[in-house]
Amino acid sequence: MMERQANREPELRTPVYVVDEAALRHNLSILQGVQKRTGCHILLAQKAFSMFRVYPLIGQYLAGATASGLYEARLAHEEMSGKENHVFCPAYTPEEMQELVKICDHISFNSLAQLEAHRSVWENSDTSVGLRVNPEHSTQEGHAIYDPCAPGSRLGIRRCNLPDTLPEGVEGLHFHTLCEQDSAPLVETFAAFEEKFGQWLPGLKWLNLGGGHHITRPDYDLKALEDLILYIRQKYEVEVYLEPGEAIALNAGSLITTVLDVVQSTDMPVLILDASAACHMPDVLEMPYRPPLFGAGEAGEKACTCRLAARTCLAGDVIGEYSFDVQPQIGDRLVFGDMAIYSMVKNNTFNGMPLPDIALRHEDGSCEVVRRFGYEDFKMRLS
């Protein structure tokens, strides 16, 4: 479907991220269902997806947004006004705290020292403060850089570093441990959390279960998630927050690219694209993973296998090997799937690569270019 749309949209200049409003709405209605059935609050984690043009739409379904620092908090304050605004950062500067207390409903701290360093500011505000804790229970394999419970982690206070009585003024606890996971690892993690930190829950106002919940994936076990939330709310009488990022815009966007050249390497043809893994989809190299490509198969599956690579100087700027019924030619457009999340929020202009445009496909099928970038966007960040 996406390829047809790409071909029907020759006016789109590539590379371009195209976010699909209908797919976004589909995800949002699933999340809204969880809120309605359990009474929990779901927040958009902006680190995954910050296309603020659709914040009013997101605000129709979710309780609000969460931020990783002042800039994201300001973005939600400005573009999703009237909704809840939360923030967690491992350390805040005094200047940031002065601004955050004016625009945030919840602020979570990563240490007792940070809590105390900013006490005089938050104590004189309406903001509710909490502590991020570390349940020290890993449920991830293979992705240590995404595991806040990995040995040596700096994220979250460990049980052994908390006093028996929580410091005056603390109203909530926060933990974030998952990455692209189903509800079973959350249930398991909550049990570890409850054993270590459960003693404080009855006196608190809220518990934030972080992100990493792949709630909008078709095979996600919603019932187990909802049972857990209801259990927490009934037993401890706290408000429950979830702050997924990926789940909001999962499979809700694509990156359309054009084949600029085809070079013959030692083993196979290499398609040189106007999209780059390093610049436009860094998680392909960082995580690493192989993004889905519409109409293509695994290497060797179809008649012609090609390596897809960028036009940067980085030898390893390779997106992956894909097979096609017919070898793509110069000028052909290719469509990578699931490119709304952790893509435009992480892109960069290494090698002076142009940033992809950002477009929105409306529900009537029309496509609007929301933002176009140019040379000035590259230049102004450099001096």
Ligand X SMILES: Cc1ncc(COP(=O)(O)O)c(C=O)c1O
Of 211, 282, 354, 356, the residue at the interface with ligand X (CB under 6 A) is: 211
Nearer to ligand X, 69 or 245 (CB): 245
Stretch of 54-62, 91-99, 188-196, 243-251 lying at the interface with ligand X (CB under 6 A): 243-251
Decide whether 6 or 225 has the Cβ nearer to ligand X: 225
Instruction: Give me the residue label for tokens 């030898």.
Output: 315
Angle separating helix axes 94-103 and 70-79, nearest 10 degrees? 20
Q: Is 323 helix (H, G, I), strand (E, B) or coil?
A: strand
Q: Are 92 and 113 in contact (CB under 8 A)?
A: no
Do 172 and 200 touch, CB atoms closer than 8 A?
no
Q: Return the residue of 59, 130, 135, 244 that touches ligand X, per CB under 6 A.
A: 244
Smallest gap from Cβ 108 to ligand X, in A, equals 8
What sign for the dihedral angle of Cα 47, 278, 318, 274?
positive
Which of 9, 243, 321, 338 contacts ligand X by CB under 6 A?
Answer: 243
The three-class DSSP label of residue 131 is strand
Give the span between the Cα atoms of 50 and 343, in whole angstroms: 10
Restricted to residues 338-377, the positions that interact with ligand X (CB under 6 A) are none
Given the rule CB under 6 A, which of 19-27, 73-81, 97-105, 208-216 is the region that contacts ligand X? 208-216
| Residue 134, SS3 per DSSP | coil
- Pick the closer one to ligand X by CB: 70 or 306: 70
Question: With CB under 6 A as the contact rule, which of the stretches 40-48, 97-105, 133-141, 283-291 interacts with ligand X?
Answer: 40-48
Binding ligand X by CB under 6 A: which of 48, 63, 252, 340?
48
- How many positions of this chain bind ligand X (CB under 6 A)? 14
DSSP string spanning 224-253?
Answer: HHHHHHHHHHHHH--EEEE--SHHHHTT-E
Beta-carbon count within 10 A of 178 CB? 24
184 within 8 A of 221, measured Cβ to Cβ: yes
Give the interface segment with ligand X, choosing from 238-246, 262-270, 283-291, 297-305 (CB under 6 A). Answer: 238-246
In this structure, are residues 49 and 20 in contact, taking their beta carbons and an 8 Å threshold? no
Parallel/antiparallel/unpaired status of strands 239-242 and 206-208: parallel
User: How far is it, in rounded angstroms, from Cα 346 to Cα 281?
Assistant: 7
Tell me the closest approach of the beta carbon of residue 184 to ligand X, in angstroms. 16
Rounded Cα–Cα distance for residues 47 and 89 (Å): 12
Q: What x/- string results for residues 167 through 206 when contact with ligand X is judged by CB under 6 A?
A: ---------x--x---------------------------
Contact pick of 42, 45, 149, 308 for ligand X (by CB under 6 A): 45
- Interface region with ligand X, contact rule CB under 6 A, candidates 32-40, 42-50, 253-261, 371-379: 42-50
Instruction: Answer yes or no: are the C-beta atoms of 205 and 171 closer than 8 Å.
Output: yes
For residue 74, what are its two tokens? Answer: 């300001």
Residue among 246, 321, 338, 357 that touches ligand X (CB under 6 A): 246
Given 88, 92, 193, 197, the residue binding ligand X (CB under 6 A): 88
Q: How far is the CB of 316 from ligand X (least distance, A)?
A: 24
CA distance 200 to 218: 35
Name the segment binding ligand X (CB under 6 A); options: 94-102, 210-218, 265-273, 286-294: 210-218
Question: Please, what is the minimum distance in Å from the beta carbon of residue 341 to ligand X?
Answer: 7
Answer yes or no whether residue 157 interacts with ligand X by CB under 6 A.
no
Phi-psi map region of 64: left, alpha, beta (phi>0 left; psi -120 to 50 alpha): left
Among 185, 210, 291, 328, binds ligand X (CB under 6 A): 210
Which residues of the chain form contacts with ligand X (CB under 6 A)? 45, 47-48, 88, 176, 179, 210-212, 243-247
